[in-house]
Amino acid sequence: MHWTDYLGPLMEGAWITIELTVYSTILGGLFSFLFGIGKLSGNWFIRGFSIVYIEVFRGTSLLVQLFWLYFALPIAGDMVGLDLRLPPVAAGVLALALNVGAYGAEVVRGAIEAVSRNQYEAATALNFTSRQTLFRVALPQAVPEMMPSFSNLAVQNLKDTALVSLVSLADLAFKAEQLRNFYQDSTTIYTIILFMYFGMALVLSLAMRMLENALGRWRGVRR
């Protein structure tokens, strides 16, 4: 069988991989800001909940998190009379997003804390509220500084999507394994998906770099 005959099924899997990456990266970004800011909150419950979330999802395996959401959560739901079964796509997106969010939350927290104390003192002198200080002073300066780390997290998230094949989601890795089992052509198939993942990572890195540059220009305009 010619190697080009593998491209059709692999492209179908690649599209699923792209969707997983986009959805989970966006949702993970939201979690990053939500829990990164939450960790700096003056409210002990919000701060404590954010810390627990960050430590749990940074301190456990993504594979175990995925299996828990897909296999264990429905059983736990049945015990309390709730239907908590997640489709493979939802379980995959949620597991990836929660993992990205935990690491991204520390990026957000660190970038906000790195803003000069003089900026916070100036905001206090202008009688800004905590919310105004966060959204009008801290975040406009911190967000551009977060982008290189977020770019790395996005690329890592793309590579981590291969794990969703273990819950029978027909992504690129799953399609490759199906083809390998049927045709017994491991070298050709895995070489193709190696280059496909590399190509997707390059495109994602370029997109994140463009976003980083755009935010840098926006920050310059605001000054």
Model pTM score: 0.90
Domains assigned to the chain? 3-222 (1.10.3720.10)
d(CA 87, CA 73): 12
Residue 186's pLDDT band, with cuts at 50, 70 and 90, is confident
181, 157 Cβ separation under 8 angstroms: no
The answer to whether the beta carbons of residues 36 and 108 sit under 8 Å apart is yes
User: Residue 52 carries which side chain, given as an amino acid letter?
Assistant: V
Residue 119 reports pLDDT greater than 70: yes
Instruction: Give 56 or 180, the one with higher predicted confidence.
Output: 56
For 98-119, what is the mean pLDDT? 93
223 three-state secondary structure? coil
pLDDT attached to residue 123: 85
At 86, phi and psi to the nearest 5?
Answer: -110, 135
* pLDDT tens-digit readout, 32-88: 999 999 999 989 999 999 999 999 999 999 999 999 999 999 999 888 888 889 999
Averaged pLDDT for residues 153-181: 89
pLDDT of amino acid 144 = 87
Rounded to an integer, what distance in angstroms lies between the CA atom of residue 15 and that of residue 48? 38
**Residue 221 confidence (pLDDT):** 46
Angle between helices 139-160 and 88-113 (to 10 degrees): 150
The per-residue pLDDT for 28 is 96
Tell me what percent of the residues of the chain surpass a pLDDT of 90. Answer: 57
Burial of 189 (0-12, 13-18, 19+ CB in 10 A): buried
Neighbours of 120 (CB within 10 A): 14
Mean pLDDT rounded to a whole number for the chain: 89
pLDDT, tens digit, 9 for 90 and up, residues 191-208: 999 999 999 999 999 999
The answer to whether 117 touches 44, Cβ cutoff 8 Å, is no
Q: What is the DSSP string of 58-70?
A: HHS-HHHHHHIII
Q: Which residues of 13-50 are buried (b: 16+ CB within 10 A; e: fewer)?
A: bbebbbebbbbbbebbbebbbbbbbbbbeeeeebeeeb
| CA dist 10 → 49, 56, 57, 177, 196 (Å) | 41, 34, 31, 10, 9
